[in-house]
Amino acid sequence: MAEVAEETRKISAWRALGMALGNRKTGFMLLFGFASGLPFALFLGTLFAWLTEAEVDLETMGIFSLIGLAYAFQFLWSPLIDKVDLPLLRKLGKRKQWIVPMQLLLGAILVTMSLLEPRSQLGMFSLLAGIGAFASATQDIAINAWRIDVADERATIDILSTVYQMGYRLSSLVGGALGLIIAARIGWPETYMMMGGILLAVGAVGLWAPNATGSAEASEGDEQVRALRRAGELAPAIRNRALAAVGLLWAVAIGAVLTFMILSLTNAPEDRPNPTDFTLTWGPWIIVATIILPALIAGWLAGQKKQGRHLLAEDAPQATGGAYALDHLYRALVLPLVEFVGRMGWSLVLILAVVLTYRICDAIWGTFAYPFYLGELQYTNDDVAFASKFFGVGAIIAGLALGGFMLTVLGRMATLLIGGILAALTNLLYADMALGGANMQAFSDAVGFTYLIEQVPGIGDADLARLTITIGFENLAIGIAGAAYVAWLSSIVSKQFSAVQYALLSSLTLLVGTLGRGALGEMIEKQGFYDVFILTTWIGLAASVLVCLEWYRERRGKAAAGILAPEAGEVAPAE
């Protein structure tokens, strides 16, 4: 009987995978993932190569690093994306009204930049790049929310999350390594014009993307605002006090970011604040002000409602004027946190622990990869480009594909655990490389990989094979872990507040990487790379233990609710 049940489950998993890959939502998710990653690669990577060839000085190029703040702090304007409708564009759909215009704007910006000369028209060039970064970050907020909103039993959140990342990784290859190759042959202006044309085409095709059905598209925001005045809801006076506290915290955080950007753009190069110092110094406080303290306030509000305190005894008249505006602001800033904290309770502590530790290995490691490859191991730029940019990207895409398959067959939490363990253990491969790579070389020789790499014209040799197979294993593990992590993160947010909740949680992942780099860099200086790789292995394994606890919490919650059903990657039996 057990064998029959297991076989039925596997058939359901394969059926779910087939339905998901054949769904038009999956195709548009791949397209949106590509559109999400391409501007990031062009504004924060390839652009510096163009500026270098244009002989723009390094101090001036440092200004362009500011546009990375748009991605780092995108959660600050996520409530606007979740709440505000654009005039004349609402009929496109709640998310597409932001996605499509941002894609068209990005395409127009890239085409316009291609008509400028960076050195002589640097002011306009930098302005366009800055606007483009904010448009790109805004697009990312809306695309993440669209993915969560449109997911259903056919196009599951697991498959959509995996396909999104595959599109994102493909675009980083197109906008990065392939962009450099194209520019060497036809020139930078022509390359950026081509990339702009691609985004304009994506924006046009995006008009036909499906919208979410049900509450996610049916003006639920207004309904939520009206519901605030019904019996059993918190009294307006209590809500307004909480809103004032949260609003003040967000205003201070936004003010800090704007002040930094104004000082950076208006001061002389020697007087400009350092972007890295700003992120390390102010980044944690901005997160405290916009996430931690508001979450505590939301927890207090949820506790008051659960205890039956400060509640309306009967329906109150619908708000008008200033009170109506305050209710809408409460819905945008505070209600997403109240819903999340109220739904998760003390489990939020475990969830935040997973968020802060699961991706810490690769979030921190990226900054030190090139110093390790080029400085410590003495590889050449061509070696690293081949192993990391071409073979490595292919390995990540393969890992994402494998991760998507595992999500469907094994389930979300099992894949999250396996991916976490594999990602942690790949640090041991780098530890071996730090000691000379004898074990990785022996393995590469034994499986015939060294022979294959030696056939690469110009650069192929045993040393390159050792590096390539190490990066390949790491990126394969990162692909599996990344597919599972984004699927899990997407599954725990509410469709009603997907833009805000996902942006807030994903920002914590970015924060821990930013804060950890300073300490890790100091450790490398004092103890060397080997000890760092051993440490990150233990951190990754500790994150896997937290995943086990989260898995147990989820199963216990489903059992208590009597809904122990297949995970999102599987489909329920036909009626």
pLDDT tens-place string over residues 453-488: 999 888 888 999 999 999 999 999 999 999 999 999
The per-residue pLDDT for range 82-94, each reduced to its tens digit, is 878 888 888 888 8
Measured distance CA(107)–CA(127) in Å, rounded:
15
Q: What is the pLDDT of residue 285?
A: 85
Q: In the chain, what percentage of residues exceed pLDDT 90?
A: 35
Q: Is the whole model's pTM more than 0.85, yes or no?
A: no
Evaluate whether 382 touches 544 at the Cβ level (below 8 Å): no
Arithmetic mean of pLDDT, 133-157: 90
CA–centroid distance for 453 within its chain: 33
Evaluate whether 396 touches 553 at the Cβ level (below 8 Å): no
- Between helix 188-206 and helix 177-186 the angle, nearest 10°, is 130
Beta bridge partners, 234, equal 311
311 within a domain of the structure (yes/no): no
Q: What is the pLDDT of residue 55?
A: 78
Q: Domain boundary at 196, 212, 228, which? A: 212
In the block, residue with structure tokens 């990226």: 366
pLDDT at 231 over 90: no
Residue (of 370, 542, 390, 403) closest to 485 by Cα position? 403
End-to-end CA distance of the chain: 21
Q: 511-544 burial string, b = 16+ CB within 10 Å, else e?
A: bbbbbbbeebeeebeeeebbebbebbbebbebbb
21 within a domain of the structure (yes/no): yes
State the residue range of the domain holding 374. Answer: 350-561
Q: What is the pLDDT of residue 453?
A: 92
Burial class for 70, CB neighbours closer than 10 Å (0-12, 13-18, 19+): buried
239 within a domain of the structure (yes/no): no
Arithmetic mean of pLDDT, 432-439: 93
Burial class for 290, CB neighbours closer than 10 Å (0-12, 13-18, 19+): buried
Q: Domain boundary at 164, 182, 212, which? A: 212
Q: What is the DSSP letter of 377?
A: S
Measured distance CA(335)–CA(480) in Å, rounded:
33
Arithmetic mean of pLDDT, 10-19: 56
Evaluate whether 164 touches 31 at the Cβ level (below 8 Å): no
Which position has the higher pLDDT, 41 or 10? 41
Reported as type and span, the H/E element at residue 298 is: helix 293-306
The per-residue pLDDT for range 103-117, each reduced to its tens digit, is 999 999 999 999 988
The region of weakest confidence among 160-164, 193-197, 549-553, 568-572 is: 568-572
Q: Is residue 359 located within the same domain as residue 506?
A: yes
What CATH number is attached to the domain comprising 186? 1.20.1250.20
305 within a domain of the structure (yes/no): no
Backbone angles phi, psi at 311, to 5 degrees: -105, 155
Query: What tokens appear for 404 in the block?
Result: 């998507």
312 within a domain of the structure (yes/no): no
The per-residue pLDDT for range 406-430, each reduced to its tens digit, is 998 899 999 999 999 999 999 999 9
Average pLDDT, the chain: 83
pLDDT at 355 over 80: yes
245 within a domain of the structure (yes/no): no
Burial class for 375, CB neighbours closer than 10 Å (0-12, 13-18, 19+): exposed
Considering its fold, how many domains does the chain have in total?
2
Which position has the higher pLDDT, 394 or 267? 394
* Cα angle: 37, vertex 43, 48; to 5 degrees: 130
367 within a domain of the structure (yes/no): yes
* Cα angle: 59, vertex 61, 65; to 5 degrees: 110
438 within a domain of the structure (yes/no): yes
Backbone angles phi, psi at 273, to 5 degrees: -70, 150
pLDDT band at 218 (very low <50, low <70, confident <90, very high): very low
The per-residue pLDDT for range 257-316, each reduced to its tens digit, is 888 877 776 676 667 777 667 767 787 788 888 888 998 999 999 889 888 888 888 888
pLDDT band at 529 (very low <50, low <70, confident <90, very high): confident
Most confident of 77-91, 144-158, 196-210: 196-210
In SS3 terms, 144-204 reads as: HHHHHHHCCCCCCHHHHHHHHHHHHHHHHHHHCHHHHHHHHHHCHHHHHHHHHHHHHHHHH
Q: Domain boundary at 187, 212, 237, which? A: 212
Which position has the higher pLDDT, 536 or 58? 536
Evaluate whether 78 touches 500 at the Cβ level (below 8 Å): yes
Which residues make Cβ contacts (< 8 Å) with residue 28, sequence separation at least 6?
206, 208, 209, 210
Q: What is the pLDDT of residue 354?
A: 92
Which residues make Cβ contacts (< 8 Å) with residue 492, sequence separation at least 6?
344, 351, 505
Q: What is the pLDDT of residue 509?
A: 73
